Amino acid sequence: MPEMVTLGETMVLLTPKATGPLRYVTQFDRTMAGAESNVAIGLARLGHSTGWVSRLGNDEFGQYVLSFIRGEGVDTSRVIVDADAPTAVFFKERREEGENKVFYYRKGSAASRLQPEDLDEAYMKSARVLHVTGITPALSENCKATLVRAMAIAREAGVAVSLDPNIRLKLWSAAAARETLLSLISGVDLFLPGQEEAELLLGPGTPEEHAEKFLALGVKQVVLKLGPEGSMVASTNGVQRVPGFRVKRVVDAIGAGDGFAAGYLAGWLRGWAPVECARIANACGALATQVTGDIEGLPSMEEVRRFMDGSQGVTR
């Protein structure tokens, strides 16, 4: 059984070959992406067994997603193929300067029909950690109920729960995100927000102040992503900032947070101290920004070690 189980929607991603507004783009590259499956793939590349739970349409895109994720070494045995709903798609808009934009076409998708009854309790209870994100409860009420049930199953079995808020304001309002996510974090073992997400949930403050408030709300360990500055880990044992890794140029920042989560979970599963977990997470996040695409830049453990050591390895 997998060490880490996750659940959520994965979509087909169409990335334009040219930069600029999508209205002028005529050619696209097809890949796939979803925050939860990104983490599952990233963690598998780092040497851990992972499983992904979801629904996909009984269509060509669904078959592509299922085949790709399975091919990355992720267990997909609990994925349901839904004959009555499609696999979702989304488009990325690339710019020469500034962040890329994304446009979703996911309403009524197969994954939005995920139900609590779809969960295999024995499968989930066998894992060491359940990783979930704030995207899933934003998709539909039944998806929210499924995530709540998954977290309850994990807690009943003593399985650790990792939660990345991954707030997507194109899916729900800031108020709805705040209300739902704050209701979920009590008792969460690992909470991995970005600084902007922390401000959306708690209001203005320093990373240290936000961490203190999250701990007061019942989080066991806060792992705050600080972008180029690195990250910060906080628990009842104290607070410590962990410097990030500088890169010459960010090619594509989308997916860096998922790489970070995969790196942190890899260290956590190995029993490393929080600071060491954060160091590898910072490295994975930095490496993910060097390649276009959500999963293409997720590294192996060997690549992470070379990057952290500053060595290039044999290239030819």
25 is a domain residue: no
pLDDT given at position 315 = 42
Are 131 and 141 in contact by the 8 Å Cβ rule? The answer is no
For the chain, the DSSP string reads: --SEEEE---EEEEEESS-S-GGG---EEEEEE-HHHHHHHHHHHTT--EEEE-EEESSHHHHHHHHHHHHTT-B-TTPEEETTSPPPEEEEE--SSS--EEEEE-TT-SGGG--GGG--HHHHHTSSEEEEETTHHHH-HHHHHHHHHHHHHHHHHT-EEEEE----TTTS-HHHHHHHHHHH-TT-SEE--BHHHHHHHH-S--HHHHHHHHHHTT-SEEEEE-GGG-EEEEETTEEEEE-----S--S--TTHHHHHHHHHHHHHHTT--HHHHHHHHHHHHHHHTTSSSSSTTPPPHHHHHHHHHT------
For residues 28 and 303, give the distance between their C-alpha atoms in angstroms, rounded to a whole number: 29
Tens digit of each residue's pLDDT (9 = 90 or more) over 155-171: 999 999 999 999 999 99
223 is a domain residue: yes
pLDDT given at position 314 = 42
Dihedral in degrees, nearest 10, Cα atoms 221, 178, 230, 208: -60
Confidence of residue 101 (pLDDT cuts 50, 70, 90): confident
The one catalytic residue in 82, 252, 258, 294 is: 258
pLDDT given at position 256 = 83
In total, the chain counts a number of residues equal to 316
258 is annotated as an active-site residue: yes
78 is a domain residue: yes
Asked whether residue 311 carries a pLDDT value surpassing 70, the answer given is: no
225 is a domain residue: yes
Query: Percentage of the chain surpassing pLDDT 70?
Result: 97
136 is a domain residue: yes
Read off the pLDDT of each residue in 222-237 and give the average, rounded to a whole number. 93
- CA dihedral sign, ordered 121, 2, 297, 194: positive
Which pTM value belongs to this model?
Answer: 0.93
180-194, 215-229, 235-249: least confident range = 235-249
pLDDT given at position 307 = 84
First-residue to last-residue Cα distance in the chain: 38
Asked whether residue 86 carries a pLDDT value surpassing 90, the answer given is: yes
For the record, the structure tokens of 34 come out as 């979803």
Beta bridge partner(s), residue 233: 223, 240
pLDDT given at position 309 = 85
> Which of 254, 251, 257, 297 lies closest to 103, judged by CA?
254
For helices 301-309 and 274-288, angle between their N-to-C axes, nearest 10 degrees: 100
Domain of residue 236 covers 4-8+34-55+73-84+115-309
Rounded to a whole number of angstroms, the CA Rg of the chain reads: 18
pLDDT given at position 198 = 97
Asked whether residue 78 carries a pLDDT value surpassing 90, the answer given is: yes
27 is a domain residue: no
156 is a domain residue: yes
Give the residue carrying structure tokens 């209870």. Answer: 125
42 is a domain residue: yes
Strands 89-93, 231-235: pairing kind: unpaired
Count the domains in the chain.
1
Asked whether residue 306 carries a pLDDT value surpassing 60, the answer given is: yes
Q: Which residue has the higher pLDDT, 306 or 3?
A: 3
Average pLDDT, the chain: 93
Tens digit of each residue's pLDDT (9 = 90 or more) over 247-305: 777 776 677 889 999 999 999 999 999 999 999 999 998 887 877 777 888 888 899 89
pLDDT given at position 244 = 85
For residues 4 and 75, give the distance between their C-alpha atoms in angstroms, rounded to a whole number: 10
What type of residue is 37?
S
Asked whether residue 11 carries a pLDDT value surpassing 90, the answer given is: yes
pLDDT given at position 147 = 98
Tens digit of each residue's pLDDT (9 = 90 or more) over 30-71: 999 899 999 999 999 999 999 999 999 999 999 999 999 999
Are 256 and 283 in contact by the 8 Å Cβ rule? The answer is no
**CATH code, domain carrying 263:** 3.40.1190.20
pLDDT given at position 310 = 77
Confidence of residue 312 (pLDDT cuts 50, 70, 90): low
Q: Which residue has the higher pLDDT, 222 or 290?
A: 222
Tens digit of each residue's pLDDT (9 = 90 or more) over 185-205: 998 999 999 999 999 999 999
For the record, the structure tokens of 61 come out as 């895109």
